Amino acid sequence: MDLDDLRRVVDGRWAHVRGIVRREVPAEWCRPAVDTDPALLRAETLKRARALAATGLPRRGFAKAYGGEDDIGGSLTAFEMLGLVDLNLMVKAGVQWGLFGAALQALGTSSHHERYLPSMMTLDLPGCFAMTETGHGSDVQSLRTTATYDPAREEFVVSTTDDEARKDYIGNAAVDGRVAVVFAQLVTGGESQGVHALVVPIRDEAGRPCPGVRIEDCGLKGGLNGVDNGRLWFDGVRVPREALLDRYGQVAADGTYSSPIENRSRRFFTMLGALVRGRVSVGGAAAGAAQVALAIAVEHGESRRQFARPGTDGEVTVLDYLTHQRRLLPALATSYALHFAQGELVSDLHDVQTGGTTDDERQRELESRAAGLKAISTWHATATIQTCREACGGAGYLAVNRLVGLKADSDVFTTFEGDNTVLMQLVARSMLTSYRDHVGDLDTLGTVRFLAEQVKETLLERTSARGLVDRLATAAPGRDEDANLLDREWQRELFAWRESHVVAGLARRLRRVSTSDGAAAFEAVNRVQAHSLRAAHAHVHRLVLEAFVAAIDNCTSDATRALLSRACDLYVLSEVEADRGWFLEHGRLTPAGSKAVGRAVDDLCRELRPHARTLVAGLGVPPAWLGAELAGSAQPSRSST
């Protein structure tokens, strides 16, 4: 087996950045901490963040003019790698450079960049991203904090209107943050212009709250206690007019408001779209945490023995049991699939954001893909880490073996940077918009036209896309009883057919509702939310499959191609098995075909079992980074603070 080729394919476009992170990050950071005092954990996390800043890695995603490297893809890759190391550090870094820093760069203009970016990159200026409020999380447009312009003093007055408007769960707020990018309703001349962002000092150099700012610690959490989450209230805090991050909305000295984007709703979503990197980072880091858990569990399964093996004097290795293989190997195959999809997303986002041109449609597609992949990846991480914990038995419940720490620290990933259920509804809405734009009629030809456009736009016109669309046009329920389950084109057609069928059905259910009747429209949308989630699920998994296929095509070694092909088969058929009730209901699988899928998953698990360690090694997690006693790693770390 050519492990170098496998690692080349897995490491992808930013392999050099992955190499830098592997060299720069000490294995000590990967080990579970013995100290559980939140104050000690926070101090250690800040110390590590400063050490990370000293490597220069956090600079990669910022403009060269201010000391960065204009390497958005490299920056996102580095954040992803921190998911293998220390999730406290990853979140702390994500707040500082992925949210606070990204907001300064994306929403500010040159004066803000010159003033804040250099010290933000070095962590000399620790900051917060103050968007979420106690009463409003996903509904950002309805935030209650206000920033009212006072033309007599050329200042904004930032106010928390009630306790529901307090900024909540804000990373860096409880202890370390000195300034915050605060999202508030901008009011000038007595008129609200919608949500905008301002730079607001929250602490002085001595660490004391600034006048009018009240800060409260969120306290002990279920995980990530090395991150100082806090709450912020603003009691008429005055900041100069220049504090407004004014790329998308400007206020003149006399209070006149102007914007390069006239439509208020479009302006709002353009602003949020500029901050998509945080969502991408969370999905990548969650996938990395799942990879670590799988590496630990596979190593345990290879070494743990239980019950006598007939005909020998030895015992059976746990991973030789098919039930154990079924717990771990489909999840390992899915981790490969999500990793390749993440790599494509990062690459495309980098190209769009550094290309010097604005393509609104392409940007919206990337935002939708980022939302869906973040949801699928974080759900996968939550389920996989729990499975790995159980697969390691009592040893998996010991803190020294890291799995319970990974579980606690990653659990919140399903709800921050966007609640997963809400994000999947956004994906479905994007799909419906595309369907409406490309189809018009809900006939078979219209559905095929819709899929053709999706294939063209999201698969980068891969050579086999046309054949897939042609096959879809002639596909009919009930024809899959004799299908070759390992035929790649059949797999792609099945995923594409599921997607197009579900979205067409969703469109039909909504088409009868008059958009002029708001109450009826809400009720209709509310009734089809489960259908919307299924449509988004089908869409994201089709994209993930296509990314896996592209990665296989990139192999130069026949052995690597064969191994990844079998892993791809296991990912596909595990997904079909999980959803076979739907395929049976819609005639794409017969009962006999459904049973064949289950047998094929068994066969693939047995076939991949001898390659489990190779697949783990291919993911590129250094053995010293496993940080688990049962995986042969060193003892847990103790805070040196």
* Residues facing residue 130 across a β-bridge: 182
Interacting residues of 439 by C-beta distance below 8 A, sequence separation 6+:
446, 447, 449, 450, 507
Query: 459-490: buried (b, 16+ CB within 10 Å) or exposed (e) per residue?
Result: beeeeebeebbebbeebeeeebeebebbebeb
* Residues facing residue 199 across a β-bridge: 181
For residues 614 and 144, what is the distance between their CA atoms, to the nearest angstrom?
A: 52
For residues 148 and 238, what is the distance between their CA atoms, to the nearest angstrom?
A: 9
**Angle in degrees, CA 530, 535, 538, rounded to 5:** 125
Q: Determine if residue 148 is left, alpha or beta; phi over 0 gives left, psi from -120 to 50 gives alpha, anything else beta.
A: beta
Pick from 567, 589, 569, 570: which is nearest to 579 by CA? 589
Q: Which residues belong to the active site?
A: 417
For residues 444 and 234, what is the distance between their CA atoms, to the nearest angstrom?
A: 56
H or E element: which one contains 386?
A: helix 360-391
Other C-beta atoms within 10 Å of 563: how many?
A: 24
Burial (CB count <10 Å: 0-12, 13-18, 19+), residue 208: exposed
Give the helix ranges, DSSP H, for 412-528: 420-438, 444-458, 465-474, 488-511, 518-527
The single-letter DSSP state of residue 33 is B
For residues 236 and 254, what is the distance between their CA atoms, to the nearest angstrom?
A: 20
Interacting residues of 87 by C-beta distance below 8 A, sequence separation 6+:
223, 224, 285, 289, 406, 409, 410
Interacting residues of 482 by C-beta distance below 8 A, sequence separation 6+:
none
For 147, phi then psi, to 5°, come to: -125, 100
Pick from 272, 569, 549, 303: which is nearest to 422 by CA? 272
For residues 493 and 298, what is the distance between their CA atoms, to the nearest angstrom?
A: 32
Distance from the first to the final alpha carbon of the chain: 44
For residues 118 and 122, what is the distance between their CA atoms, to the nearest angstrom?
A: 7
Amino acid identity of residue 76, one-letter, is L
* Residue 537, both tokens: 């699920």
Interacting residues of 2 by C-beta distance below 8 A, sequence separation 6+:
557, 559, 560
For residues 400 and 630, what is the distance between their CA atoms, to the nearest angstrom?
A: 8
H or E element: which one contains 19?
A: helix 15-24
* Residue 223, both tokens: 């995980």
For residues 51 and 452, what is the distance between their CA atoms, to the nearest angstrom?
A: 49
564, 552 contact by CB (below 8 A): yes
Other C-beta atoms within 10 Å of 111: how many?
A: 10
Pick from 358, 532, 529: which is nearest to 431 by CA? 532
Query: 321-345: buried (b, 16+ CB within 10 Å) or exposed (e) per residue?
Result: eeebbebbbbbbbbbbbbbbbbbbb
